[in-house]
């Protein structure tokens, strides 16, 4: 066998080995990623909240979805870092729709979440505090997730009582006593 032929066979073997390693890495990463998505979906499904005591759920769900969409448009995907006065003014107008939803709600946990969203939006309006806008956005995101179904990002912030969120503000419950 000639020297060139031996080098060619070694190069093909090396490239084949590299290709196999890359393919296995891609398959392994896909498996790990898919497994993580399944675990998240299982966790979300296990935490599914059914508001059986809420006769206005469809109407409230539509309102929550609209408010969340407005917050997503102006704050989502790190747009909050560039929030201007005009956009903040648009977010401030969401107080009235929130009050309307709160007046319709009958489920106590849902009422607490809507009260919390309204409280944090009020703080955002008076203090011009971006963190308060973000807290309101996360409450609306989680409500939208639990009432209308999972969002495209699949993220749950844990800011609602109906989702048993670990970061749910307790203000509304404290104010009821």
In a domain, 36, yes or no: yes
Of 59, 52, 149, 156, the closest CA to residue 109 belongs to 52
In a domain, 109, yes or no: yes
Judged against a pLDDT cut of 60, whether residue 118 lies above it is answered with yes
Judged against a pLDDT cut of 80, whether residue 164 lies above it is answered with no
Please report the sign of the dihedral spanned by the C-alpha atoms of residue 147, residue 57, residue 87, residue 127: negative
Residues 31 and 80 in one domain: no
Residues 41 and 63 in one domain: no
In a domain, 32, yes or no: yes
- What gap in Å lies between CA 9 and CA 28, rounded to an integer? 28
Confidence band for 14, pLDDT divided at 50, 70 and 90: confident
Six token digits for residue 84: 């201007």
Residues 135 and 74 in one domain: yes
Residues 156 and 124 in one domain: yes
Residues 13 and 86 in one domain: no
Residues 83 and 164 in one domain: yes
Residues 90 and 22 in one domain: no
The winner for highest mean pLDDT among 25-29, 31-35, 130-134 is: 130-134
Residues 94 and 9 in one domain: no
How much is the pLDDT for 65? 93
Burial class of residue 135 in the structure, from the number of CB atoms within 10 Å of its CB (0-12 exposed, 13-18 middle, 19+ buried): buried
Residues 118 and 138 in one domain: yes
- Give the predicted TM-score (pTM) of the model: 0.66
Average pLDDT over residues 7-18: 77
Judged against a pLDDT cut of 70, whether residue 35 lies above it is answered with no
Residues 68 and 131 in one domain: yes
Cβ partners under 8 Å of residue 171, min gap 6: 115, 116, 119
In a domain, 51, yes or no: no
Residues 37 and 61 in one domain: no
What is the number of domains present in the chain?
2
Confidence band for 139, pLDDT divided at 50, 70 and 90: very high
The parent domain of residue 8 ranges over: 1-46
How much is the pLDDT for 5? 81
In a domain, 52, yes or no: no
Residues 83 and 1 in one domain: no
């Amino acid at each position: 066998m000639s020297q060139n032929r031996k080098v060619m066979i070694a190069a093909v073997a090396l490239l084949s080995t590299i290709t196999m390693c890359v393919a296995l890495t891609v398959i392994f990463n896909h498996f790990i990623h898919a497994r993580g998505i399944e675990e998240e979906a299982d966790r979300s499904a296990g935490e599914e909240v059914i508001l059986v005591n809420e006769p206005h759920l469809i109407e409230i769900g539509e309102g929550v979805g609209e408010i969340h969409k407005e917050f997503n448009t102006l704050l989502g995907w790190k747009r909050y870092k560039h929030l201007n006065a005009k956009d903040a003014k648009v977010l401030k107008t969401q107080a009235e729709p929130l009050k309307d939803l709160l007046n319709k709600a009958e489920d106590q946990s849902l009422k607490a979440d809507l009260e919390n969203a309204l409280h944090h939006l009020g703080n955002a309006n008076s203090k011009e505090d971006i963190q308060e806008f973000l807290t309101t956005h996360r409450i609306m995101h989680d409500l939208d997730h639990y009432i209308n179904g999972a969002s495209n990002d699949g993220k749950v912030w844990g800011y609602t009582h109906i989702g048993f969120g670990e970061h749910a503000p307790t203000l509304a419950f404290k104010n009821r006593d």
